[in-house]
Structure 1
Amino acid sequence: MMVSYYSKLISTKLKMIIKMKFTYAFALVLFIQISFGQKNTPELKGIDNNIELLMERYRAVGAAVAIVKDDKVVYSKGFGYRDLQNQQPVTSNTIFPIGSTTKAFTGTLLGILESKGQVSLKDKPNLYIPQFQFYNEKMDNLITIDDLLSHRSGIGNQGTSEVFFPKKDKLEVVQRLKYLKPEAEIKNSFEYSNMGYTLAGTIVEQITNKSWDSVIKENLFEPLEMVDSYTTLQEMQESNNYAMPYGLYKGNIEKVKFEEFNSISPAGAIKSTVNDLSNWMLTWLNNGVFNEKQVIPQNYIREATRLQNINEDSYEKDAFLFGEGYGWRLRSAYGYYRVDHGGNTFGFSSSLVMFPFEKIGIVVLTNQDNSELPYMIIDNITRKLFKLDSYPIEYPVVVKDIFRPDMDEKGLNNDKLPTHDLNAFCGTYEAKGYGKIKVISEEDALFVILPTFKFKLEHLNYNSFFFKATDQFKEVFNPQFTIQFLNNIQGEVSQLKMYSQKEPVEFHKKT
C-alpha cells in the first residue's frame, strides 16, 4: 500500500526468492497472446514491436495492454509471462493487482450511494462512523467526504500506522485518526492519502452494513461484467490465470511477495484484467452507461473528472490543469484533457488513462515492481492515436530496485557510544494511534519487535539507531528508519522517536 505524480507505497514469509538472469535474446520469445487484435485501427501499426522493445529494455517479465476507442475495444493483448519460472504466458484475461487504480472504484461507490440519497459527499465522516474524531476540532469541523476523495483533507498517508501496525478491521483503524497528526494543511493542500480512502471505504461499509468487497462486487464488478476482478489475494489465487510479482535487483529479476492490504483495501486492493478494465473505461467514457444500463451516475462521472484539488507542479505550458478529481488525476497532456491514475503494489506497476472528449482509454498492467514501463507504453500508444511525433529521444528506463537487506554486521560506534548500557533501552514503548514496540537484547545487540516485523537496531551515534532488516524481511520497501531514544529528567530512558514520516512518531516507555 506507497509520493511522486504516479504514486507509491509500502505478511507472510515467502519461501524462496528466485534469482533469474533473464537473457532477452532467448526469453524474448516473449509469447504474445492476442485476445482482440487491432480492429481497423491503422494508427496502431507497429505497436506490438514497440511494446516488445520497451519490455526488453526494462527487463520486464510480463504486461497486458488494452485500448478502447469510440465505444469499443480496439486492442487487447498479453505480452511475456505471468509466471516466469513455469513459462506461463500473459493473456488479456490474466489477473494483475492494480494498486491505487482501485481508488476510483471506492469513490464511485460513494457516488452511487449519493445518487440513491444515502449520503452526500459534502457530509462529514462522523455522521456515518460512530464516535469518530479527527486529531483536532478544526479537522472535525471542516473535513468532508469529498476532501477524502480528492486528497484535500490533509490527513496524509499515515504510512507508519498502516504498514508497521496493520489491522484488518477498517473501523478499528480509522478510529486511530483521533491520535494521528495531519500531514498537511487541512482542506487546502494536496497530500496523497491511503488512509483517507480507508476512511471512505469504511463509510461505505457503515452506510450499507456490508463489506467494502461485497459492495464493489454488487455495484461494479457484476453490472460491468468484470468477471475476472477480485478484491482479495485468496480469490485471485483460486483462479488459473494470475500474474506473479517480480522486481529488479542489481540487474537480476527476482520474484517477490504479494502485498497484503489489510484495512487499506479501499486504497489499493483490487486485482483485475485489461479486458475487465476495458469495460470500466468504456463505462466512464459513455457517461456511466454500460450495456444500455446506467451503472455509474452521470453526475458523479462529471464531478469525479472535474478539478477538485490543485496539485502543485512545475510551471510549464500544461500547468494550468494538474490536480485531482475523485480517485482520478487530471491534467492537460499533448493538448488534450486527460484523466488517469497509476498503481504500484509489490511486484506490479500499472496505469490507466482516458481522454474523455476523444473517447479513448488505455490501460497497461505489468508484473514489474516500481516501474515507469506502463507510462512509457501509454505515451507511445497516445502519440500513435493522436498522430503526434514520436518521443524525441529514446524512452528512459526508470525502474527502482527492490529492497534487499545488507547482511554486513556493524558494532557500536566507539567514537559516539550510547549514554546507557544496552539493557537500559529494553522495554515496551507505546504510541496511541500506532501500537506497541518491544525492544529486547539478544547476543549483545538490540532488536525491535513490531506486530509483523523484527529488526536489529544498528547503532548510528549516541542514542540513535536504525531498523536493520534481517534476512527474514521479504518486503520490497526499505524499512530502515532511524529511531532515537530520549531520557527523562532523572536520566532514565523513557521515550523513543521513530523518524518514519514527516514528523517523528513518539513512543513512550511503559515497562
Structure 2
Amino acid sequence: MKRSAFVFCLFALAASFFLLSDSFVFSQESNRANQLEGLSSYVEKKMEEWKIPGMAIGVIQNDSVIFLEGFGFRDIDKKLPVTPQTLFGIASISKTFTAATIGILYDEGKLGWNTPIIDYVPDFRLYDEYATFHATVRDLLSHRTGLSPFSDLMVYVWPYERDEIYRRLRYLKPSSSFRGWYQYSNVSFVVAGTIVDKLSGGSWEDFVEKRIFKPLGMTHSNFDLQIKNVEDFSYPYKYENGQYVKLPFRHRPAGNPSGGINSSASEMINWLKLHLKKGQFDNRQIISPTSIDMIKNPCIYNFYSEEKWWPPMMSSALGWDFQFYSGYHLLTKGGIINGFGCFISFMPQEKIGIVILGNNGVALELTHYLTYYIYDQLLNLNEFSWDKLIEDETPKYKVSSEKSSKEQQAKSEKMSYPREKYTGSYEHKAYGKAAVYVENGEMQLNFNTNFVWPLEYCFQNVFKTVYDGATIRFEFKQDTAGNVTSLEIQIEGTDFSVVFEKSNSK
C-alpha cells in the first residue's frame, strides 16, 4: 500500500512538473508577445514616413507564432489590404532555398559539400582552370568563386536560359582570385540551381515545390510571374514625385534560384520553423541537421562596419549572412527586386525568427531596422535607439529621391561627335551581342529584343544610364584614327567593368 502511494505521489509530482513547465513556456511566450504591444501602430507610422504602401510581418518564438499581421495595401488602386497570406516577391531570400536544395541533394548522397563540382557534374567549367577543378558548392553558395557582380547582368538583362548561362560561365573572367574575396553573385546561385536541375532529373522549381513547399505547407508560394496565379498577391511599387507608381513584375525565370520565389509572411514562418528545428517540420525531417549546420556556418568574411549600431563584422554562410548581434548568434538574408524589399532572420539559440515583407524597394532598408528593433524588444536590449536611427534615415531617403529626380531632368551638354559615330554591333564572348543605334534622335543600347537602355550623354565619349538604382557608365574607345573600336561598360562606384568589341572595327 505504501509503495502504491509512493508511486502515485511520484507520478503526480512529475505531472505537476510538466504542467508547470508548459505553463512557464506559455507564460514566457505570452510575455514576449506582450513585449510587441504597440508594434502595429509603430510599423504603420514608419510605413507612412518611408512611403511603403504595404508590409507583412511574422515573428515566432519556440515554434509559436507571437506576431503575424499585414499592413497597408497590396493594390492601392483597388484598396485591397495586405494580409499575412499576401504573396510578395522575396527576391534574394530565394537563395536560402537554393542552399537547402543543395543540402537535400547532399543528404541523398548526390554531391559533397567539399567535393569539387566537376567530380559529379563533368561539364562544369569556370574561366580559370584551377577554379574549375577545385570549386565546390560551398564556393558557389558563399560568393567566393571570384565571379564579378557585373556578371549578374547576364541573369537579369540578357535573355539566356539557365543552362545557357551555365555554359557561358567558362567565358566570364573573374574580378578577384578564387576564394580570395567575397563578391556577391547572383550567377553563382543560378549555377547552383542548374546543378540541382542536372542531379535531380527535373527542374530546380519542381524540386523546391516537391521537397520544400509541399512538406512545409507552403501551398501558395510560387515562382516569377506565377505570383498573379493566386488571389492574394501584392503589386510592386515605388514612390516618385509625390505619388505611388505601380511597377511591372520582373520576369526572368532563369534567375529563380537567385531571386525568383514569391511567398507570404504566414508561409515564410514555416521556413523559419524548419531552420529553428534543425531541418524538421511537423515531426518530419526535411533536411538533415548536418546540412542545416553546414548552411549556417560562416565561410568568408563579407562586411565590416564602424557604425556603433551595426554588427562590426558579418560573414557569408550558405545563402545566409552570419553575424553576432549584441552577443547573440544571428542568421539574416535581405532581398530587393523591382518594387519589393524584404528581410528574414533567426536566432538559433534563442529560437526566435522574424520575417518582414514590403512592396517598395526601399522597404529593404526599413525591414533591416525594424528587425533589429523587434529583437531589442524581445530580448530587452537597449544598447541602441533604432527608433532614432529610423527617424534619422527617413529624410535621407526622401532627399535621395528628389536629387535623383532632378538629375534625370538635367540637360546633357552638347555632344562632341555625331551620334552615328557610335552606332553598330558590339560583342562579348560571354554576354553575347549588343546593338547601339539612334531612335527619335536619342542613343539607345539594345541587348536583346526586350531590353533597351537609353544612353544619356555625359562628356567626350562617355554616356550613362540608371538601372535598378545603379548608375552604369558607357565609354566608347577609339583607335589612333578616331574610329570606335570597343565599348566599356562599368557600374559606377565599383571596379567592375566589361569590354564589348565593335564587330565592324578595323
Deviation at 1:356, TM superposition (A): 0.6
Q: Which moved more, 1:147-156 or 1:357-366?
A: 147-156
CA distance in 2, matches of 1:321, 1:439: 43
Displacement, 1:188? 2.4
Residues 1:272 and 2:270 are matched in the alignment? no
Matched with 1:505 is 498
Task: State the 1:217 CA deviation.
Answer: 0.5
- Identify the residue that residue 427 of structure 1 maps to in structure 2: 424
**Cα distance in 1, alignment partners of residues 454 and 337 from structure 2:** 26
- State the shift of 1:327 in Å: 0.9
Cα distance between partner residues in 1 of 2:50 and 2:164:
41
Change (3 A) 1:370 1:60: closer
The 3 A distance-change label for structure 1 pair 460 and 387 is closer
Q: 1:445 to 1:219 in 2, by over 3 A?
A: closer
Correspondence 1:461 to 2:459: yes
Correspondence for 1:290: 281
1 CA distance for matches of 2:263 and 2:315? 26
> 1:383 corresponds to which residue?
376
> Does the 8 Å contact 1:64/1:78 carry over to 2?
yes
Distance in 2 separating the partners of 1:166 and 1:191: 23
1:328 lines up with 2:330 in the alignment: no
Change (3 A) 1:458 1:42: closer
Number of residue pairs matched by the alignment: 460
1:423, distance to aligned residue in structure 2 (A): 3.1
* Partner of residue 156, structure 1: 148
Cα-to-partner distance string for 1:369-423 (whole Å, 9 max, x where unaligned): 133221222122111111223853522345464977936654633xxx23xx543
Aligned counterpart in structure 2 of residue 210 of structure 1, from 192, 202, 206: 202
- The offset of 1:130, in angstroms, is 5.2
Alignment partners' CA distance in 1, 2:502 and 2:59:
56
**Is the contact between residue 128 and residue 203 of structure 1 (CA under 8 Å) also seen in structure 2?**
no
Cα distance in 1 for residues equivalent to 2:382 and 2:412: 54
Which one has the largest radius of gyration? 2
CA RMSD in angstroms, aligned pairs only: 2.5
Structure 1: unaligned runs, 5 residues or longer? 1-37, 470-475
- Following the alignment from structure 1 to structure 2, what is the Cα–Cα distance between the partners of residues 312 and 232? 30
Identity of aligned residues (%): 28
Q: Does 1:477 align with 2:497?
A: no
Partners of 1:177 and 1:190 lie apart in 2 by: 18
Q: Deviations over 1:218-252 (max 9, x none)?
A: 1100011111211231x220110001111122443
Deviations 1:115-163 (A, max 9, x none): 1101112233334545332112132133211111111222133133233
Q: TM-score, normalised by structure 1?
A: 0.84
Give the Cα separation in 2 of the matches to 1:441 and 1:376: 45
User: Residue 181 of structure 2 is aligned with which of 175, 184, 189?
Assistant: 189
For CA contacts below 8 A with separation 6 or more, give which structure has more relative contact order.
1
| CA spacing shift, 1:320–1:455, aligned 2, 3 Å | closer
Matches of 1:321 and 1:477 in 2, distance apart?
27
Cα 1:257–1:337 shift into 2, 3 Å: same
Q: 1:52 to 1:455 in 2, by over 3 A?
A: closer
Contact 2:106-2:113 within 8 A present in 1 as well? yes
Residue range with higher mean Cα deviation, 486-495 or 65-74: 486-495
Choose 434-443 or 287-296, whichever is displaced more. Answer: 434-443
Q: Secondary structure at the match of 2:223?
A: coil
- Partner amino acid for 2:300? N
Deviations 1:65-123 (A, max 9, x none): 11111112122111111111111111111111111111111000010110110111223
Say if 2:154 is the partner of 1:175: no
Structure 2: segments with no counterpart, 5+ residues: 1-28
